[in-house]
Amino acid sequence: MKYEIVTYGKSVLREKAQPIEDITADIRKLADDMLETMYASNGVGLAAQQIGLEIAICVVDVPPAQDRRPETGERENPDVEMPLVLLNPVIIESTSSHRSEEGCLSIPDIVAPIKRAKEVTVEFLDLNGARRSIRAKGLLARAVQHELDHLNGMLVVDRMSLVKKAAISGKLKKMKKEAQ
């Protein structure tokens, strides 16, 4: 089932996710539906708040063509099996950061340079209840940090420069108004 994506201005995007205690059939179905919704929107990640739920689950899938270092064309994360379904994810280690253009399915048609760690180690439960950790690099690292922000009620607008935020303030106000 494909969900409608919640857009900027809706209060659920500002809620913190509750940890998942039991991995039920409903959670597995939800993971499938979130992936379907993400693919239909051409996104590389989606968090529960973006479909109106306040629980700690997000999905990420960076296609092989986008999982490449721009300078060399080498794969960034050849050993990470995608798609990823992350339950109760936590970043336990991160490296120095850099800025790169980033967008969000909940804030359509807006991209801005956002500072993110180049690599992160994220710990999470998989759908079998196994505790796992992965080292993510490049776009995957960026997507993981973006989705974990959503689970904490944070959005890219909170990480934009004040200049950029001022430049798009009209669009944001309009979205907020439409959300009411």
Taking the complex as a whole, the smallest distance from the CB of residue 108 to Zn ion amounts, in Å, to: 10
Token representation of residue 165: 């935020």
Is residue 134 at the binding interface for Zn ion, with CB under 5 A as the rule?
no
Pick the piece of the chain touching Zn ion (CB under 5 A) from 86-94, 97-105, 114-122, 166-174: 97-105
Which residue out of 76, 102, 119, 147 is catalytically annotated?
147
User: Is 151 strand, coil or helix?
Assistant: helix
Looking from the CA of 68 toward its CB, the CA atoms found within 13 Å total 9
Catalytic site includes residue 101? no
Backbone phi, then psi, for 28, in 5-degree steps? -65, -40
Taking the complex as a whole, the smallest distance from the CB of residue 66 to Zn ion amounts, in Å, to: 16
Is residue 104 at the binding interface for Zn ion, with CB under 5 A as the rule?
yes
Pick the piece of the chain touching Zn ion (CB under 5 A) from 19-27, 82-90, 103-111, 165-173: 103-111
Taking the complex as a whole, the smallest distance from the CB of residue 79 to Zn ion amounts, in Å, to: 25
CB atoms within 10 A of CB 120: 21
Separation of alpha carbons 77 and 82, rounded Å: 10
Is residue 143 at the binding interface for Zn ion, with CB under 5 A as the rule?
no
Separation of alpha carbons 111 and 39, rounded Å: 19
Taking the complex as a whole, the smallest distance from the CB of residue 154 to Zn ion amounts, in Å, to: 10
Pick the piece of the chain touching Zn ion (CB under 5 A) from 52-60, 77-85, 96-104, 115-123: 96-104
**Of residues 104 and 125, the one with the C-beta less far from Zn ion:** 104
**Of residues 17 and 104, the one with the C-beta less far from Zn ion:** 104
Backbone phi, then psi, for 107, in 5-degree steps? -130, 75
Backbone phi, then psi, for 111, in 5-degree steps? -125, 150
Distances (CA, A) of 81 to 17, 41, 56, 166, 173: 25, 21, 20, 39, 39
**Which residue minimizes CB distance to Zn ion?**
104
Which chain residues interact with Zn ion by CB under 5 A? Answer: 104
Active site amino acids: 147
